[in-house]
């Protein structure tokens, strides 16, 4: 190929993730230096060096420099992609097939120095596919080991991230923090005795617990809902797309299990009381402007509407009912004003210019009623109906005839 293609314009692609550099020492500088030397040796012209730093090779979509390189390839600015190893480019079999199709469509080659890869031949493309299958297998094995290790760590009381309120990390293990755990106990005690989330928060604020005056009903609800306080850990609780996994008795509990369960029962009682005491004007009528879901009703404190609001639990979006009602009244007032203006100013104009009812139609209806009146008279003379029935029927027909003759004379429609 080197003898046949002396007009190669190469895009050098280098990528490194934090894990790669720590494990194998693939620094961006080292890759760039070696690949420039390779291009110089092969006689390739270098168009540009594309660098993706700290990004995984799991997919091609979320690598900005890689996407720019593909764009330049489609615009015929480069006809070869030069990388240090194949796994710098991709570790996905699906992405590789897509990439090879793109390369073939744009008459571009992939050259990987360390793996001796060259897609200009059928054997080269087959070899690339085999390397990618092995690379993806490695990713899946590492992922399984990571999950297995995480489960083992959780069962040993080791939890990633920030410890929940009332706990702290000691030697990577979650243990009770007695300087704050007493607040958790107090919250459960107050809630168990019938106080709402907001009233518990009010108590904490009024007494400046831990020097804080910004406790909210959401803070209290989050603590009451957390299974960690009875010793259990719920994985994937926040991720609505995955089913949560519960690990039982993995940490020392702050709250006895029976108290935690009683507080969950108390939640149901509070919700029943709360639903009886408040009437929401826009119940199941408001839609979240972000996700389109029907918003839930929430409220706390006074019953005058001040603390009544609508909430989207997915987008964390809130609307105060008083503000919604005020806006609704404004819109309704505008609609009534428009309707009044229409009736006062435009309707008379439309009525004046509207098509007059045909005189012949009115005449026909009058004639039909006159014939009906004569038939009723005939029915009386032949003793089919009595005098009282005759008088009532004639009265009704005469009223209709008077009305129709008035319309006929004025040639208009009574609205």
Cα–Cα distance for residue pair 89/57, rounded to 1 Å: 7
Length of the chain: 415
DSSP 210: G
Torsion of CA 139, 141, 146, 148, to 10 degrees: 160
Helix (H) or strand (E) holding 173: strand 173-176
User: Smallest Cα–Cα separation from 6: which of 68, 82, 79?
Assistant: 79
Number of neighbouring beta carbons within 10 Å of residue 324: 18
- Are 320 and 309 in contact, with CB atoms under 8 Å apart? yes
Please report the DSSP string for 292-359 in residue order. -PBPEEEE-S-SSSTTEEEEETTTTEEEEHHHHHHHHHHHHHHHHHHHHHIIIIIHHHHHHHSPPPPH
| Contact between residue 110 and residue 103 where contact means Cβ atoms under 8 Å apart | yes
90: left (phi over 0), alpha (psi -120 to 50) or beta: beta
The catalytic residue positions are 17
The radius of gyration computed from the CA coordinates of the chain, to the nearest angstrom, equals 40
Q: Which residues touch 273 (CB under 8 Å, ≥6 apart)?
A: none
Instruction: Return the residue matching tokens 């957390």.
Output: 226
Report the C-alpha gap between 251 and 155 in whole angstroms: 8
């Amino acid at each position: 190929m080197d003898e046949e293609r002396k007009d190669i314009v190469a895009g050098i692609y280098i990528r490194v993730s934090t894990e790669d550099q720590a494990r194998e020492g693939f620094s961006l500088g080292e890759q760039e230096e070696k690949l420039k030397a390779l291009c110089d040796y092969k006689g390739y012209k270098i168009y540009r060096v594309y660098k993706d730093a700290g990004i995984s090779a799991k997919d091609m979509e979320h690598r900005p420099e890689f996407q720019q390189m593909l764009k330049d390839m489609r615009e015929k600015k480069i006809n070869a992609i030069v990388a240090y190893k194949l796994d710098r480019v991709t570790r996905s079999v699906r992405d590789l097939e897509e990439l090879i199709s793109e390369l073939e469509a744009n008459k571009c080659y992939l050259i990987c120095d360390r793996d001796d890869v060259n897609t200009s031949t059928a054997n080269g493309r087959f070899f690339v596919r085999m390397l990618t299958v092995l690379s993806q297998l490695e990713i899946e094995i590492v992922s399984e080991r990571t999950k297995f290790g995480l489960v083992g760590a959780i069962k040993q009381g080791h939890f990633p991230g920030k410890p929940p309120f009332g706990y702290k990390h000691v030697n990577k293990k979650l243990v009770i923090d007695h300087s704050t755990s007493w607040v958790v106990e107090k919250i459960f005690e107050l809630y168990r005795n019938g106080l709402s989330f907001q009233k518990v928060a009010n108590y904490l604020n009024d007494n400046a617990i831990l020097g804080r005056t910004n406790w909210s009903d959401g803070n209290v609800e989050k603590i009451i809902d957390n299974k960690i306080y009875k010793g259990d850990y719920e994985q994937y609780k926040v991720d609505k797309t995955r089913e949560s996994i519960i690990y039982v008795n993995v940490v020392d509990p702050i709250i006895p299990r029976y108290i935690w369960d009683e507080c969950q029962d108390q939640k149901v009682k509070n919700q029943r009381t709360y639903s009886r005491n408040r009437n929401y004007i826009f119940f199941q009528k408001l839609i979240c402007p972000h996700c389109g879901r029907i918003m839930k009703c929430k409220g706390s404190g006074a019953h005058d509407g001040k603390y009544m609001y609508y909430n989207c639990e997915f987008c964390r979006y809130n609307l105060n009912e008083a503000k919604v009602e005020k806006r609704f009244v404004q819109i309704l007032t505008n609609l009534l004003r428009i309707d009044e203006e229409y009736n006062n100013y435009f309707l008379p104009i439309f009525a004046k210019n509207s098509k007059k009812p045909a005189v012949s139609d009115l005449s026909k209806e009058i004639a039909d009623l006159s014939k009906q009146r004569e038939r009723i008279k005939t029915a009386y003379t032949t003793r089919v109906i009595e005098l009282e029935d005759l008088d009532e029927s004639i009265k009704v027909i005469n009223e209709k005839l008077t009305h129709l003759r008035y319309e006929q004379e004025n040639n208009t429609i009574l609205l």
